[in-house]
Amino acid sequence: METGIQELQLAGFLMGENLFAVDIMRIKEIVIPQKLAGFPLQNSTLDGMINLRGQVIPVMNLRARFGLPPRPGGPGKLMIVSVAGRQVALAVDDLDEVVTVPVRDLTPPPDMVEGIGAEFLVAVCLCNERLYLVLDIDTLFSPTGRHKQGLMQEDFPHGDI
């Protein structure tokens, strides 16, 4: 008898023309953007911090992280996700639907030339005739990702993410 996970629920979101997805179990909540408190030093991917019900949460700008131009009018939504036991807000353009995907339909990202973002993907899948790029949100904060994108440990005020 097979006991492994058969299906995965993914929350889709838009960044520019691309459709991304993350495991819904990693999302704590979705909030509308709010006033940000800045960091003492500028960082290209961290927009600042928000106070969400008394908890200070850093906000990562995924457009900047992926090398996209700023979205007119600022981020559309903030996805509060769990990374290494801490909460981080990911600024995204807009939300899409939640889809249930059979695990067998998830395929590794195609072999790509290094340096174009494949390290941030865990899989790709076709669902409802739409191609989702499934993000590995842990790599957004990995030492390799920090080095490549200029993020350093000190960018996160409350310890290791």
pLDDT tens, residue by residue, 115-152? 556 778 889 998 888 999 999 988 887 655 433 333 33
Closest to 98 in 3D by CA, of 82, 84, 83, 79 = 79
In this predicted structure, what is the pLDDT of residue 155?
A: 38
Q: Answer whether residue 89 is part of any domain.
A: yes
CA distance 96 to 87: 21
What mean pLDDT do residues 69-87 have?
Answer: 88
Q: Answer whether residue 111 is part of any domain.
A: yes
pLDDT tens sequence across 23-53: 999 999 999 988 888 877 677 778 889 999 9
Q: Answer whether residue 109 is part of any domain.
A: yes
- The parent domain of residue 37 ranges over 9-155
Q: Answer whether residue 42 is part of any domain.
A: yes
- Domain count for the chain, please give it: 1
Higher pLDDT, 16 or 39: 16
- CB neighbours (10 Å) of residue 127? 18
Closest to 71 in 3D by CA, of 47, 37, 87 = 47
Q: Answer whether residue 4 is part of any domain.
A: no
Q: Which residue has the tokens 């939640």?
A: 98
Higher pLDDT, 117 or 56: 56
H-state helical runs in the chain: 62-65, 143-149
Q: Answer whether residue 105 is part of any domain.
A: yes
CA distance 132 to 120: 13
Q: Answer whether residue 161 is part of any domain.
A: no
CA distance 119 to 101: 21
Closest to 61 in 3D by CA, of 45, 81, 41 = 45
In this predicted structure, what is the pLDDT of residue 65?
A: 84
Could you give the percent of the chain with pLDDT greater than 70?
Answer: 81
CATH number at residue 41: 2.40.50.180
CA distance 152 to 158: 13
User: Residue 92 in contact with residue 124, Cβ under 8 Å?
Assistant: no
Indicate yes or no: pTM above 0.85: no
In this predicted structure, what is the pLDDT of residue 71?
A: 86
